[in-house]
Amino acid sequence: MAEIEELSACEATLEMLRQAKELEQETAFDRVEQQKGCAFGEAGSCCRICNMGPCRINPKKPEESRGVCGATMDTIVARNFARMVCGGASAHSDHGRAVAETLILAAKGEAKDYEIKDRIKLLEVAADLGVEIGDRDINDIALEVGERCLAMFGQQEGELAFAQRAPEPRKEIWRQLGVFPRGIDREVVELMHRTSIGVDQDYENILMACARTALADGWGGSMVGTELQDILFQTPVPLESKVNLGVLKEDEVNIIVHGHEPILSEMIVLAASLPEMQEKAKAVGAKGINLAGICCTANEVLTRHGVPIAGNVLQQELALLTGAVEAMVVDVQCVYQGIGQIASCLHTDIITTSPKAKMPYARHIEFHEDHALDIAKEIVSAAIENFPKRGKVRIPDVQESLIAGFNHEYINYMLGGRFRASYRPLNDGVIDGRIRGVVGVVGCNNPRVKHDDIHVRVVKELIANGCLVVMTGCAAQSVAKAGLMLPEVAREICPQGLWEICEAVGIPPVLHCGSCVDNSRILIACTAMVHEGGLGDDISELPVAGCAPEWMSEKAIAIGEYFVASGVYTVFGVKWPTMGSKNVTDFLFKKYGELFKNTWDFEPDPEKMVGKILSHIDSKREALGIMAKRERVLFDMAMRRELEI
Ligand code: BF8
């Protein structure tokens, strides 16, 4: 194993990695060393879609071999990429579907523990979907909104309703290219079909279908998830909280909610706050119940309730090694199988709750919306019962404050006020150069690179170079841990112009915008910038970019693909999964530029990644005629040390 200090930029993580070593417990940081990868897999040139293989094409001699069926390197690489898009789109969209089903049950009165918390958002979404409002009962409107959204999954033809929110020129591009998404499930199923043995063998055709499927995620499944969660649980507003393993408490029952769907975690938050549960905790000698989150569930309950974040995806095993977690309650996605093994050596219960996701060493308490609070109380009670069984506890004394909960609605309100909501000051700030551009920094952690380090370096340099940064997912948590989601910290590196805007509007230069399905919020914000005027007619003309410096999940590929197909230049780090085929990579990195007006890009080095993003932003400013010459701020080692937070 590499030196522990080289593995993470996060102090709490390093402390727990030392603890793992002492306890001889294995984590993802060890397993990554055992899994060296193989050249074919890395090139995307290993085909396992039928039983004649596996077939592997040598990336150094792609012309010299073919799969048993005759598939070329280009076809195999494109199919593998497409199946990543399908996997990612499925994950986001199945999450969105679950929220739509919950909204319907709530509106019918069949899920009595849920209610419509954000009526304004409901009416806005209803209007966008063409649902009649009039003087109808709020639950009737919610029922129709829920049913319309659920119908988007099985829609067979026509155009997805939420995709109509995109700027007109963008929709025209999709229509002309034949990639306007029809139904969410339809696009995923069709692409899975097209990439099975002996179907679509034209890599260009496959890559166009990738765009259509990903758009069905971004402007469909993910957007359904975000919008309906806001309706059911309230659109977030900025609030302050804490992040990192130090949020766990030695004298309280610690429950970690982990996974993605707030349908479950909202109820756990409610159950844990009930006096009867608090009393139960006191009866076993605890001072109370402390809830914390991991991964995107953490972002959901943070932005709506201020529940602190224990850590991001690579900290899930480490959180257990504190010995202070009575239960880790999981639903779907990004839950490492490794946590079961670790928990089996501790008093901790891993509690699985979804019939879609069970695991060894876990206790299964199945969650059902129709008696959600009762089940949540059962889960919280199970955690409380574990408290007296605790052994030795070691919680790193490391935590940071952050402000989170930003979104399109809040930015609109803060910039223009309740009665004249507007993006005008933001657009004006971009036009006059105080804001150089807006960059979405999103995605996961990946133990193939130094944990958190690349996120923090990229974001610091972007701010120092005048960019407003919007963040979601585990990336947001990395940067929050470094203190950059506090205005007073970010101010230190923020140029005067950007800071003036942030101060006037009351935002930090790094905005925590939620979970990974909430990347759909960024699509809406980009569209609002276009509609405000002065920055071109389409998303592709805006001085904006996206990046995922430490990505690992198929979901990140689906997100990147829908950003590119929506006109946003998007750079990924770590490794790029189509390198085996020059044709496929060129199609994504060059040809997409002609088709979608912006492209994918790949750059693992954080400084070069920022360089590419700034060049792109400047080229857009140039094209808009708003370019003012400026020097790039490059961080030398002395500056970095000074900024060490
Ligand atoms: O959906 S950022 S590791 S937690 S995949 Fe997973 Fe990646 Fe984290 Fe959320 Ni998104």
Position 627 confidence tier, pLDDT thresholds 50, 70, 90: confident
Task: Give 511's pLDDT tier (boundaries 50, 70, 90).
Answer: very high
241, 481 in Cβ contact below 8 A?
A: no
Task: Give residue 310 CA to ligand 1 midpoint distance, Å.
Answer: 15
pLDDT score, position 631: 63
- pLDDT tens sequence across 89-146: 999 999 999 999 999 999 999 999 999 999 999 999 999 999 999 999 999 999 999 9
Closest by Cα among 12, 16, 10 to 318 = 16
- How many residues does the structure list for the chain? 645
What confidence score (pLDDT) does residue 420 get?
A: 65
CB 547 within 8 A of CB 571: yes
Tell how far the Cα of 158 is from the centroid of ligand 1, in angstroms.
Answer: 31
The finding on whether 298 has its CB within 6 A of some atom of ligand 1 is: no
pLDDT at 421 over 80: no
**Residue ID of nearest Cα to ligand 1 atom 7:** 444
- Å from CA of 519 to ligand 1 middle: 11
Pairing label, strands 510-512, 309-311 = unpaired
What pLDDT, on a 0 to 100 scale, did the predictor assign at position 571? 98
Q: Please indicate whether residue 447, judged by its CB atom, sits closer than 6 Å to ligand 1.
A: no
* Ligand 1 atom nearest to CA at 553: 5
Among 313, 472, 520, name the best residue to mutate to test ligand 1's pocket (greatest count of ligand atoms within 8 A of Cβ): 313
Is the separation of the CB atoms in 477 and 312 below 8 Å?
yes
Q: How far, in Å, from the CA of 84 to the mean position of ligand 1?
A: 14
Q: DSSP secondary-structure letter at 389?
A: G
> Whose C-alpha lies nearest to ligand 1, atom 4?
295
Residue nearest to atom 3 of ligand 1 (CA): 444
What is residue 417's predicted lDDT score, i.e. its pLDDT? 59
In whole angstroms, give the CA distance from residue 89 to residue 70. Answer: 29
Ligand 1 contact via 334 beta carbon (within 6 Å): yes
pLDDT per residue as tens digits for the range 520-579: 999 999 999 999 999 999 999 999 999 999 999 999 999 999 999 999 999 999 999 999
Please work out whether the CB of residue 516 comes within 6 Å of at least one atom of ligand 1: yes
569 CA from centroid of ligand 1 (Å): 21
pLDDT at residue 645, as a whole number: 43
pLDDT band at residue 419, thresholds of 50, 70 and 90? Answer: low
What is the rounded average pLDDT of the residues 431-453?
Answer: 97
45-62 residue pLDDT tens: 999 999 999 999 999 999
In the chain, pLDDT over 90 holds for what percent of residues?
91
Half-sphere exposure at residue 496, Cβ-oriented, CA atoms within 13 angstroms: 1
Q: How far is the CA of 442 from the centre of ligand 1 (A)?
A: 9
3-state SS class at 253: strand
> Tens of pLDDT along 163-183?
999 999 999 999 999 999 999
Q: Please work out whether the CB of residue 517 comes within 6 Å of at least one atom of ligand 1.
A: no
| C-beta of 443 in contact with ligand 1 (< 6 A) | yes
Q: Give yes or no for a contact between 456 and 11, defined as CB atoms under 8 angstroms apart.
A: no
Q: Which of 442, 479, 516 to mutate to test the pocket of ligand 1 (most atoms within 8 A of CB)?
A: 516
pLDDT, tens only, 192-225: 999 999 999 999 999 999 999 999 999 999 999 9
d(CA 36, CA 209): 32
| Contact indicator for 474, 28 with CB cutoff of 8 Å | no
Ligand 1 site, residue 553, Cβ cutoff 6 A: yes
Number of C-beta neighbours around residue 407 at 10 A: 25
Indicate the pLDDT class of residue 593, thresholds 50, 70 and 90: very high
Task: Give, using CA atoms, the residue closest to atom 1 of ligand 1.
Answer: 516
Backbone angles phi and psi of 102, in degrees to 5: -70, -40
**Other CB atoms within 10 A of residue 393 CB:** 14
What lies within 8 Å, CB to CB, of 77 at 6+ separation is 43, 44, 45, 203, 578, 580, 581, 584
How many Å lie between the centroid of ligand 1 and the Cα of residue 641? 30
Q: Helices (DSSP H) in 511-553: which residue ranges?
A: 519-532
How does pLDDT run across 22-39, given as a tens digit for each residue? 999 999 999 999 998 899
Nearest-CA residue for ligand 1 atom 6 is 334
Identify the weakest region by mean pLDDT among 192-206, 310-324, 347-361, 485-499.
485-499
